[in-house]
Chains A and B, each alone.
Chain A
């Protein structure tokens, strides 16, 4: 045991090359949110990571570099921080948020990455729109919503003026705005995502939260933007186990 301790002490003192400069850096970082591990004068992965994190967050630049080989200079910079202004910048650590896109799609039903798509580049338009819902089980079609849709930078922004819940039409609710995330491509096709809002009540409240349904929209052949009809066809939509089709028609488009 004694021999083991002797070997260990020898290692720390000589083999591990405990350095005053490293100890100085560690003692300084120990007072920040960047934990260098034990203040032992030994350069290890924790010390390196803490120094790197501190330098990245504070944005300081140290002549000669910010790594172990320049530890004397780094120690000098830290020692010169007698009022602690630099140290205070690292008192709390900012852990940047980086959410991967798969996760985004999971947590935000309207998330859609348009970066790979060639979006419509023409002028912006405002059009009237109407949606028609057909219940398969009841075999009837009714106008379920209408309002204004704006096409801005290729993105479709729906603002609903009327909405029908069950058999009750609800009018003049100008603030019923969809949270869809749809865009027109240069080809005229529409891509994106939208939750389906079907539970508006009077006074604009959403009685139930939007269902996180991803809709597949199909471009209706023969449509010529911006004066066409039936640009959107929702072939199947059954958020609650029911079965119905929905169609969206645009008309009266004017350039913005």
Chain B
């Protein structure tokens, strides 16, 4: 199955926010932030295996790619992340490992809410951390989304706009028409067969609702001087409880989608890539060991991939907790030793020129967020 077909029926979405609004005080900051939300719980140990940890292969031989690309003596990246690897080589990317939101109950619904609201308590906020950061930076705006994602909701009312006709949406997919044809009989089937035969053969066209198509639209919009400052792209399906795979398989294909999404953003952003930070966020990692159906279950610590011209030095930032049994969270998960809010804080500080203490207090409502901007952005 091709990647595009794999995600054809899934619910990838894009929201753009921070379109300048006439009359609103404009921020002087040129930074752009793209958050890619990996829904379902990305397996950070598959994406960025710590090959220098002797317990990695002891614990998860069947889940680790045999041909992972070593980026330093301790860490490697999954071979699906090759464009991201090229960005690392150009000092345009960084990795934060063993990170998670301070939330350990392993529920998708709660976890996804926590990642967006930016506090340890699910459903405790009506706004999201990125929206509050935009408020703090004086970035107004309009969001281009059907529903405004929690993450970009702030105190400033966001004006929603979603075009009724979006590029690519009017072109029926051949596979969908084939399905309709098969569901009908006689004359009805013939009608769908005729439509299918007459439809433009553009099965390979990136469609607006797959992550790469969304990245293309987002990158192009963000590159405009009067365009949005913020984009949020959702990539679902990371909940790989069964047959997760290693070199290939569902998780590897999803990482390829992430890789292509970031690469498409880079290409489409053009020179604006220099002012951009892209970061991935996920509600939790996955169990260290394989489960009974060759997959992994909901865990704790995971990884965040960062890319963009705002990064000056490629690095993997971590306080590595180890993978020996005694080092795992509740004897099963990668321990998260770095609060993901610190990563989010560093990104908005770098992109919007915000002060750390102010971000900690007004965006995350917590004074104990570690300042790691200097470690990530130099």
Least CB distance from A59 to B in Å reads 11
Bound-complex Cα distance A91 to B317 (A): 10
Identify A209's interface contact among B260, B317, B337, B372, CB under 8 A: B260
Name the residue on A nearest B203 (C-beta).
A207
Q: CB within 8 Å of A: which of B330-344?
A: 337-338
Least CB distance from A87 to B in Å reads 12
Check B17 for interface membership: any CB of A closer than 8 A.
no
Contact residues in B for A104 (Cβ distance below 8 Å): 86, 89
Contact A207 B204 (CB under 8 A): yes
Least CB distance from B276 to A in Å reads 18
Contact A91 B318 (CB under 8 A): no
Q: How many inter-chain contacts with C-beta < 8 Å in the A-B complex?
A: 85
Contact B86 A88 (CB under 8 A): no
Per-residue CB contact flags for chain A residues 179-201 toward chain B (1 = under 8 Å, else 0) read: 10000000000000000000101
Name the residue on B nearest A88 (C-beta).
B370
Contact residues in A for B58 (Cβ distance below 8 Å): none
Check A240 for interface membership: any CB of B closer than 8 A.
no
Contact residues in B for A46 (Cβ distance below 8 Å): none
Contact B88 A99 (CB under 8 A): yes
Least CB distance from B52 to A in Å reads 9
Check B354 for interface membership: any CB of A closer than 8 A.
no
Least CB distance from B117 to A in Å reads 24
Check B375 for interface membership: any CB of A closer than 8 A.
yes
Check A256 for interface membership: any CB of B closer than 8 A.
no
Contact residues in B for A33 (Cβ distance below 8 Å): 318-320, 337
Bound-complex Cα distance A179 to B320 (A): 37
Contact A94 B317 (CB under 8 A): yes
Check B71 for interface membership: any CB of A closer than 8 A.
yes
Contact B314 A96 (CB under 8 A): yes
Contact residues in B for A95 (Cβ distance below 8 Å): 72, 74-75, 315-318
Bound-complex Cα distance A88 to B370 (A): 9
Identify A103's interface contact among B69, B205, B337, B372, CB under 8 A: B69
Name the residue on A nearest B97 (C-beta).
A95
Contact B204 A96 (CB under 8 A): no
Q: CB within 8 Å of B: which of A218-245?
A: none
Contact A94 B316 (CB under 8 A): yes
Interface of A is mostly: loop
Per-residue CB contact flags for chain B residues 96-113 toward chain A (1 = under 8 Å, else 0) read: 000000000000000000
Contact B205 A201 (CB under 8 A): yes
Identify B89's interface contact among A93, A96, A99, A201, CB under 8 A: A99
Per-residue CB contact flags for chain A residues 17-48 toward chain B (1 = under 8 Å, else 0) read: 00000000000000011000000000000000
Identify A96's interface contact among B260, B313, B370, B372, CB under 8 A: B313
Check A61 for interface membership: any CB of B closer than 8 A.
no
Contact B319 A107 (CB under 8 A): no
Q: Provided the pairs A91-B370, A96-B313, A103-B69 are in contact, do residues A108 and B260 lie with their beta carbons within 8 angstroms?
A: no
Contact residues in B for A206 (Cβ distance below 8 Å): 206
Q: Which of A88, A94, A97, A209 has its CB near the most chain B CB atoms (within 10 A)?
A: A97
Contact A96 B72 (CB under 8 A): yes
Least CB distance from B252 to A in Å reads 15
Bound-complex Cα distance A108 to B71 (A): 14
Check A135 for interface membership: any CB of B closer than 8 A.
no
Contact A207 B86 (CB under 8 A): no
Check A92 for interface membership: any CB of B closer than 8 A.
yes
Contact residues in B for A208 (Cβ distance below 8 Å): 204
Contact A111 B205 (CB under 8 A): no
Bound-complex Cα distance A160 to B216 (A): 18
Check A254 for interface membership: any CB of B closer than 8 A.
no
Contact residues in A for B89 (Cβ distance below 8 Å): 97, 99, 104, 107-108, 111
User: Chain A, interface size: which category?
Assistant: 20 to 34
Contact B70 A103 (CB under 8 A): yes
Check A106 for interface membership: any CB of B closer than 8 A.
yes
Bound-complex Cα distance A92 to B371 (A): 11
Bound-complex Cα distance A95 to B75 (A): 8
Least CB distance from A103 to B in Å reads 6
Check A98 for interface membership: any CB of B closer than 8 A.
yes
Name the residue on A nearest B96 (C-beta).
A92
Contact A97 B316 (CB under 8 A): yes
Contact A107 B318 (CB under 8 A): no
Check A205 for interface membership: any CB of B closer than 8 A.
yes
Contact B372 A92 (CB under 8 A): yes
Contact residues in A for B205 (Cβ distance below 8 Å): 201, 205, 207
Least CB distance from A184 to B in Å reads 22
Contact B72 A98 (CB under 8 A): yes
Least CB distance from A58 to B in Å reads 11
Bound-complex Cα distance A192 to B38 (A): 36
Check B199 for interface membership: any CB of A closer than 8 A.
no
Check B191 for interface membership: any CB of A closer than 8 A.
no
Least CB distance from A62 to B in Å reads 21
Contact A108 B85 (CB under 8 A): yes
Q: Which of A91, A106, A107 has its CB near the most chain B CB atoms (within 10 A)?
A: A107
Contact residues in A for B313 (Cβ distance below 8 Å): 96
Contact A108 B82 (CB under 8 A): yes
Contact residues in A for B213 (Cβ distance below 8 Å): 205
Per-residue CB contact flags for chain B residues 49-88 toward chain A (1 = under 8 Å, else 0) read: 0000000000000000000011110110000001101101
Contact residues in A for B260 (Cβ distance below 8 Å): 209
Given contacts A106-B82, A205-B216, could you give 11 more A-B pairs where the C-beta distance is less than 8 Å?
A92-B317, A94-B375, A95-B72, A97-B88, A103-B69, A108-B86, A111-B86, A199-B204, A201-B202, A205-B213, A207-B205
Ranked nearest first, the 7 interchain pairs of A and B with the lowest CB-CB distance are: A108-B86, A97-B314, A33-B319, A107-B85, A107-B82, A95-B316, A94-B315
A-B contact pairs, 6 of them (CB 8 A): A33-B319, A92-B318, A97-B88, A99-B71, A104-B89, A203-B167
